[in-house]
Structure 1
């Protein structure tokens, strides 16, 4: 018997651009991604957040904004 998830988080990227800085681990360029995150309860949206994520293109390291 299959189970259906009750809660689901759906994330979509709105825009992505260069952050103008370098990765401290590999020296690669850092990108900024603005994401929409929706929390769904039985396919009904109950929460909506806009998050900003920083990450390196080469080594995929995630950074926390200061």
Structure 2
């Protein structure tokens, strides 16, 4: 069986707040994920990831 994960960037925008490690600006990136099994689509999700523009660190959002 062949599982395949494709990721495609949909857009970037400025997010509120600053990076806790370096104090840089935060950028929000919308990512579309597709999981396939032998070319048959299984799952489709759109997620938002947060990155620091200065240090490039991926930031997690905790509620």
Report TM bin, short chain.
Answer: 0.7 to 0.9
> What value does the CA root-mean-square deviation take over the aligned residues?
1.4
Larger Rg computed on CA atoms: 1
Equivalent residue in structure 1 for 2:33, among 11, 31, 37: 37
Deviation at 1:13? 1.1
**Which runs of no fewer than 5 residues in structure 1 stay unpaired?**
none
How many equivalent residue pairs?
A: 62
Gaps in structure 2 of 5+ consecutive residues: none
TM-score by length of 1: 0.82
